Structure 1
Amino acid sequence: GDVALTAGLDDSVRIYDGQTGKQKYSLAAHDIVTSQEDGMSLADGNNLLTLGEDGKQLLLYDGTSGEQTGTIELSEQDASVMGRLSGTGDGTYYLVNGQGITVYRENGSIGEQIFDGSRGRMADMDTKVLLQNFLVGAEEDFYGIYWDYNANKTYLCHYYYNGAVSTQTEEELTVYGLYQSSTIEDAVRAFEKARPEISVDYQYAMKEGEEGNPEDYMDALNPQLLNKEGADVLILDDLPVDSYIEKGILEDLTKYGEELVKDGSILENLAQAMKKDGKTYEIPANVSLPVFYGTQEAMDRLESLESAESYLQEQPDGKLVGAAAKEQLAYLLFAVNYAQMWQEDGSLSQENVAKVLELAEKFYENNPSEELEEAWKDYYKVLCTSGNKFSPFNGVGMDELYTQTDLAGVNDVTGISSLGMMCDILKQQEGMTVQDVHGSFLPRNLLGINASSQKKELAKEFISTVLSSEVQETDYQEGMPVRAESLERQGERSEQAEGITQSVSYAGGAVHSFGNPSAQEVDQIVDLIKEADTPLILEHHVRTAFLDCIEQYFGGDVSAEEAAKSMGEKMDLYLSE
């Protein structure tokens, strides 16, 4: 017979003569971006089936002539969603993706979903597994072969109809957060697999990367919570936790937190650091670790405002870190010296904020970057105010440290892959090391329970699922694990993923390629996390006010003192409200 191959170069399906090997004809197909077998093209008997260019139709071709013989309209949930096709040879086709299994027929007009994939391994196709093959069985059953690329494991799943199993759930647990989280979505699937009688309704206000003002959603949420309504489990990132505690909105989880520490679900140092007045109200599912790296001399300059100022006095043309926008430099110095930004009475230290602005301006003049200025305006600034994925320790140039040892590097360790370039630099530059930033960590996916919930035990069970090894050992770049054994395994997991390489270039510079860090390199970071004792939480209203302060100073004729005073007034107003 003839041979059909997909071609990613021109997004086509090519047919070759089985005897001569010569190309007979080419069929237009969808945007083929995979280096694996294209699952959205199928040879079924003498029929060829492929996803159309618009992603909304399946195109049918005669395998002998190459003539199009028909189209099959995809349902709304299947349109433009990559998956895998399988056929039975009689004009019946099955499409499987993260939504489930849908059956389509040559002469049918409507696809019928025969299996809901949202509660099993199939749902993981959107996040952590690759469907390598999907076969139709002889008795209206199906077989799926999945590869979990995070855990490097292969699974064979058998799907069949069982009339004795109810599709109805007995109970519902509600979960709400401002921002979409892959970690929480993974936990929802794991929980529903373990407890099929319970459904989890996970809602979030903003999709990942979506622009918007989180405070608009807070304004809608807060009255619900004050009225003893709202979700059972709250993802507290950027929500006003102190205010919620004061108003009795959050459940006291102190005893439960102690149990989690005892069974290793969370490191004791992290659990202790998150306590407020000796009580636990929020439990982080992940933590990212801000670090300095470079020579000790270069890192010491970043330790405080005083050390940075002293360095400038000694070296008026000195550079502090790699290339960055001046706004990003100010944001970095603000975060590194966050404790110095506040006075004992809780008010803003306008003097130190003004000092941050002036230092950032001077260091930028010594190492300007128009490319990163544009990146700040077009990309980074929005991320600072409309999500929780961008930290002050992101976005600063790193590649200069390959050649310049007088600079300090900064990095926010959100997972194994975020370590690659830093570890590559440390390997190549003798005398460079890595250290934490004043023992700080950035808590992510903060879990709390609504004090008005009638399902508090079920809510605790869900939190325990989030902290289970099944969820904790999947790297979504939302932070490192807080579970003791999962954190310990990070070095081993990094070395298991050998062969994976990254290539990075900053501001049009040289391209640097590197693999995963070694177990020893990862263990060094793990040890720092075990010692971290200070949560660094830049609340949304603080970030917004400081970014306004930056704009006033760098964008107009306002002095640093005047910009800092304006921010101080905003902070005073917020506290009074």
Structure 2
Amino acid sequence: VFGYGKEEDKLFYCAGSGIYRHILGGTVVEQAVNGSLTSIGNPKTMLISLAVMDDDSFLVACSVDAEYKIYRYSYSADTSSVPEKEIKVYSLEDCSVLRQAISVYQKQNPDVYVDLEIGMSGEDSVTASDALRSLNTDIMAGKGPDILILDGMPVENYIQKGLLEDITGTVEAVSREDGLFENIMRTFEKDDKIYAVPLGFLLPVVQGDEAVVNAAESMNTLAEQIAEIREENPHTGRIMIPTDSSDFLEIFYNLENAAMRNEDGTLNEEALKAFLENMKKLYGEPITQEEQENTIGYFSAAEGGASNLDGLRLQSMVLLSQQSKAGAGWIGSVSQLVEILGVNQACGLDYTELKSEGKSVFLPYQSVGISSKSKEKELASDFLKALLGVEVQGTLNAAFPINQKGYEKAMEFAKTTYGGGGDDAAGGASITMSDSSGSMSSVNLGWPGEEELDGLKALLEQAEVPASTDDTIWNAVKEQGEKYLNEGLGLDEACSNIIQKVNLYLAE
């Protein structure tokens, strides 16, 4: 957003990175306000307008989670432009949730600068393996970060090598105050000590008719059921969605990867073969370009919020149009539950938790640890408390918050979108679609009743097995798994290639 100052040749503009001044005709842009140190740097802040006042202060009108605010920024000779203290945060990939948390923390702690380093910017050819080698070198040299966002990293390996600090005291202090989901907060507990903690988590679910739902106790039984439905419906292109093989593989790999791992971290060859064989039964024949264009979508975590119904997944549309018979994915918000229930009501379907050999699995989201070599452990612990606190947790929409008060706050926000009125609510919205033949389908999206919400809460509390989030191992499975599903690569060769790559990686 733009604004003029007292002098007509001075143009000011505001963006997430800060407020800037430019003299028309000149070649220099000067930063007047550092966005990373203020509320305008929060990814949830939607800018509306900028006003430059006669005293050279700035007014910024914006909205944050549908609440309108005006921020005022003025010059102070007594305030340092650079905070006196600094902590370093490292994440393999950028994440708006993390940037939002940093913004909240720096607003609460203006004397601390949080320096965020992203290992894979996407602007170069750096892979997860490349980034981790560089990170490990810095850690061992004593130049590494204070806080590690561990998604994509070999967490168990870091714990064994003593690279993560014991954060039990910090985590349990937050739990006593707000209540954390006990089963999730101890994801990375070893010898009664917690070395990392997820900020949130997701659950695997399957959606379909009664036969599909009843087969969800294991991947084996589900694969047999989907194969049977395929035989009975030879003219249905995709029995189960998503259609993209990479997305499909990732959903079930996250479900099964803990069961495929040996105690030393290597992959069990027999379990890996069984996994790929079941994937073939679930996925079916390689997808055609026409299918890819006409049948897409699956439900998974989304970075966007639920407002304006932008959380509606394409999977819902595919099931509504009866192009497919079932869908699988990971859910991380009550908004996704709303969509699932709406489609179920319209199509006579059901949903249930997808299990791994009868066990409840969850996917950790944005797991955080403190480096044992950090020189700012007290500050890092303070930052971790902010990440686990209600203000940050209550705005999570990509995963269920680990903080139970934050979970309730997120529920209240989602409730306003869907008319939130309990069992007798008529629904917050109705969405209608038509296919190429002109056939119309519609779905009502209304706030779930107490029974549905209690059922979701029970699923959250009983999750017991954490999925691995090591990107390097997943990439090896993905590469060979797609060749097995789509390009005719043999099962034995695919397994051999995966195990060879994983073993080489673990030996480094």
Counterparts of residues 491-510 of structure 1 (less than 5 Å)? 491-497=411-417
Residues 178 and 206, structure 1, Cα contact 8 Å, conserved in 2: yes
- Aligned match of 1:129 in 22, 45, 56? 45
Residues 3 and 13, structure 2, Cα contact 8 Å, conserved in 1: yes
Shift of 1:529: 1.8
Tell me how far apart the structure 2 counterparts of residues 313 and 452 of structure 1 sit (CA, whole Å).
Answer: 52
Residues 3 and 52, structure 2, Cα contact 8 Å, conserved in 1: no
Tell me how far apart the structure 2 counterparts of residues 349 and 375 of structure 1 sit (CA, whole Å).
Answer: 37
Tell me how far apart the structure 2 counterparts of residues 330 and 107 of structure 1 sit (CA, whole Å).
Answer: 54
Which residue of structure 1 lines up, in the alignment, with residue 236 of structure 2?
none
Tell me how far apart the structure 1 counterparts of residues 14 and 118 of structure 2 sit (CA, whole Å).
Answer: 26
Which residue of structure 2 lines up, in the alignment, with residue 300 of structure 1?
214
Question: Which residue identity lines up with residue 534 of structure 1 in the other structure?
Answer: V
Tell me how far apart the structure 1 counterparts of residues 223 and 205 of structure 2 sit (CA, whole Å).
Answer: 20
Partner SS for 2:186 = helix
Tell me how far apart the structure 2 counterparts of residues 233 and 490 of structure 1 sit (CA, whole Å).
Answer: 25
Question: Which residue identity lines up with residue 416 of structure 2 in the other structure?
Answer: Q
Give the number of the structure whose alpha-carbon radius of gyration is greater: 1
Which residue of structure 2 lines up, in the alignment, with residue 444 of structure 1?
365
Shift of 1:218: 0.7
Which residue of structure 2 lines up, in the alignment, with residue 112 of structure 1?
30
Tell me how far apart the structure 2 counterparts of residues 174 and 419 of structure 1 sit (CA, whole Å).
Answer: 36
Which residue of structure 2 lines up, in the alignment, with residue 103 of structure 1?
21
Residues 361 and 466, structure 2, Cα contact 8 Å, conserved in 1: yes
TM-score by length of 1: 0.72
Residues 494 and 519, structure 1, Cα contact 8 Å, conserved in 2: no
Residues 181 and 403, structure 2, Cα contact 8 Å, conserved in 1: yes
Shift of 1:114: 2.7
- Aligned match of 1:410 in 318, 323, 328? 328
Q: Structure 1 429/297 Cα, relative in aligned 2: closer, same or farther at 3 Å?
A: same
Which residue of structure 2 lines up, in the alignment, with residue 260 of structure 1?
174
Structure 1 unaligned blocks of 5 or more: 1-82, 390-394
Q: Structure 1 344/111 Cα, relative in aligned 2: closer, same or farther at 3 Å?
A: closer
Tell me how far apart the structure 2 counterparts of residues 252 and 332 of structure 1 sit (CA, whole Å).
Answer: 31
Q: Answer yes or no: is 1:196 the counterpart of 2:196.
A: no
Q: Answer yes or no: is 1:472 the counterpart of 2:403.
A: no
Question: Which residue identity lines up with residue 70 of structure 2 in the other structure?
Answer: L
Q: Which moved more, 1:523-532 or 1:482-491?
A: 523-532
Q: Answer yes or no: is 1:147 the counterpart of 2:63.
A: yes
Tell me how far apart the structure 2 counterparts of residues 303 and 216 of structure 1 sit (CA, whole Å).
Answer: 38
Shift of 1:309: 5.1
Which residue of structure 1 lines up, in the alignment, with residue 492 of structure 2?
561
Which residue of structure 2 lines up, in the alignment, with residue 518 of structure 1?
447
Partner SS for 1:273 = coil
Tell me how far apart the structure 1 counterparts of residues 264 and 87 of structure 2 sit (CA, whole Å).
Answer: 41
Residues 488 and 523, structure 1, Cα contact 8 Å, conserved in 2: no
Shift of 1:507: 11
Residues 282 and 446, structure 1, Cα contact 8 Å, conserved in 2: yes
String of CA shifts for 1:204-234, please: whole Å, max 9, x gaps.
1123798741111111111222334301111
Shift of 1:451: 0.6
Structure 2 unaligned blocks of 5 or more: 234-238, 304-312, 420-427
Residues 449 and 459, structure 1, Cα contact 8 Å, conserved in 2: yes
Q: Answer yes or no: is 1:536 the counterpart of 2:467.
A: yes
Tell me how far apart the structure 2 counterparts of residues 247 and 142 of structure 1 sit (CA, whole Å).
Answer: 50
Counterparts of residues 340-379 of structure 1 (less than 5 Å)? 340-342=259-261, 347-365=266-284, 368-371=287-290
Partner SS for 2:190 = coil
Tell me how far apart the structure 1 counterparts of residues 228 and 147 of structure 2 sit (CA, whole Å).
Answer: 53
The structure with more helix, counted as a fraction of residues: 2
Q: Answer yes or no: is 1:545 the counterpart of 2:499.
A: no
Which residue of structure 2 lines up, in the alignment, with residue 71 of structure 1?
none
Counterparts of residues 53-64 of structure 1 (less than 5 Å)? none
Q: Structure 1 306/200 Cα, relative in aligned 2: closer, same or farther at 3 Å?
A: closer
Structure with the bigger RCO (C-alpha within 8 Å, sep 6+) is 2
Shift of 1:176: 0.9
String of CA shifts for 1:401-421, please: whole Å, max 9, x gaps.
325599332232234554454
Question: Which residue identity lines up with residue 44 of structure 2 in the other structure?
Answer: K
Residues 172 and 200, structure 1, Cα contact 8 Å, conserved in 2: yes
Residues 96 and 102, structure 1, Cα contact 8 Å, conserved in 2: yes
Which residue of structure 2 lines up, in the alignment, with residue 20 of structure 1?
none
Partner SS for 1:239 = coil
Identity of aligned residues (%): 25
Q: Structure 1 218/490 Cα, relative in aligned 2: closer, same or farther at 3 Å?
A: same
String of CA shifts for 1:32-79, please: whole Å, max 9, x gaps.
xxxxxxxxxxxxxxxxxxxxxxxxxxxxxxxxxxxxxxxxxxxxxxxx
Residues 298 and 408, structure 1, Cα contact 8 Å, conserved in 2: yes
Shift of 1:102: 2.5
Shift of 1:366: 6.8
Partner SS for 2:193 = coil
TM-score by length of 2: 0.80
Q: Structure 1 462/108 Cα, relative in aligned 2: closer, same or farther at 3 Å?
A: same
Tell me how far apart the structure 2 counterparts of residues 249 and 348 of structure 1 sit (CA, whole Å).
Answer: 23
Total equivalences in the alignment:
479
Q: Answer yes or no: is 1:229 the counterpart of 2:229.
A: no
Which residue of structure 2 lines up, in the alignment, with residue 250 of structure 1?
164
Residues 285 and 486, structure 2, Cα contact 8 Å, conserved in 1: no
Residues 265 and 468, structure 1, Cα contact 8 Å, conserved in 2: no
